[in-house]
Amino acid sequence: MDRHVSVPLYVGAFFLSLAIFLIGIYIGSLIDQSNLDQISGDILVATEKVKSINLLLLAEGNSTSFCPVYLSEISSVESDVEKMGHKLTYLEEEKDIYDTELKKEYFILEAESYLLSKKAKTLCDDKSVLLLYFYSNTNCSICYDQGIDVLKARDNILTGEKFIKIYSFDGTIGSPVAEALMAEFNVTGYPTIIIDNVKYEGRLNTAEIYEIFQNHSNSQAN
């Protein structure tokens, strides 16, 4: 028999594939934008919650009678804030999607949440350990692993109640809030961890962070 190559079939299949591929890329970009919009919306909602807690604090002065409400509200906000942080990290690390302005908004929310927790610690005798983690996505090759070690150490020490609160800040994206906190603790390099106002510079592994947490827990118990 006479054989032939069905060139039109393969050319057609190529262009059909290309068309579907391009539609896929376009839809993918729409989904990415929608994910960023979703996080942006979540930040707005959480910011409103923070404002409400702040209003309550202002209204009640230094009264401790509302402490259960403060602590519960702060805990709820922080849980949301942490999730948003992970989502932003996922988009950056896994999909190479960076939105600096959104990140800055997120850092403002995180800083507000940190300040609220700090206030609650004093006012309500809250035993939470506050951990500030300063990193850089651009000039710190060990920062990603350091961030994971901080999480692992926090998860290792969980004993029924989450009492270590982590606030991460990228010091190199031009966030005024991050820069202000860095100035407060005189942070000059990455990674740097501040645990209840004590500064630890350079890489700490999970076991070392865990040990610091243990010491904090013991000293707070005493």
Partner 1 sequence: MDAVSILNYIIAFFSLFVVSVFLLLFLKYRNTYLQKPKQTGWKPLVSVIMPAYNEGVYIADSIKSVLASDYPKDKLDIIIVDDGSTDNTYEIAKTFEKENPVRVFKKENGGKGAALNFGIEKAKGELTATMDADSYLTKDTLKELIPYFTDLEVMAVTPAVKIKQTTSWISEFQRIEYLMILFSRKLLSFIDCVPVTPGPFSMFRTGVLTKVGGFDEHNLVEDQEIALRIQANNYKIKSSMSASVYTEPPSTMWDLLRQRVRWQRGGVRNYWKYRFLIKPEYGDFGVYFIPLNFATLTAFFVVLGLLLYSLLSTPYYVRYIWFDVFGLGMDLFTFVAGFVIITSLAFLYLSVKSFKNECIKLRYMITFIFFYWYLMVGYNVLFLIKELRKDSFSW
For residues 132-171, which are near partner 1 according to CB under 8 A?
Answer: 147-148, 151-152
Angle, CA 92 vertex, CA 91 and CA 95 arms, to 5°: 60
Stretch that binds partner 1, among 64-72, 93-101, 127-135, 176-184 (CB under 8 A): 93-101
Separation between Cα atoms, residue 187 and residue 167, nearest integer Å: 15
Interaction between residue 181 and partner 1 (CB under 8 A) = no
Separation between Cα atoms, residue 131 and residue 144, nearest integer Å: 16
> How many residues bind partner 1, per CB under 8 A?
37
Burial of 116-130, coded b for 16+ CB within 10 Å and e otherwise, reads bbbbbbebbebebbb
Interaction between residue 4 and partner 1 (CB under 8 A) = yes
Among 14, 76, 174, 207, binds partner 1 (CB under 8 A): 14
| Residues whose CB falls within 8 Å of the CB of residue 199, separated by 6 or more in sequence, listed in order | 185, 186, 187, 192, 193
Which residues lie near partner 1 (CB under 8 A)?
A: 1, 3-6, 9-10, 12-14, 16-17, 20-21, 23-25, 27-28, 31-32, 35, 38, 82-83, 86-87, 89-91, 93-95, 147-148, 151-152
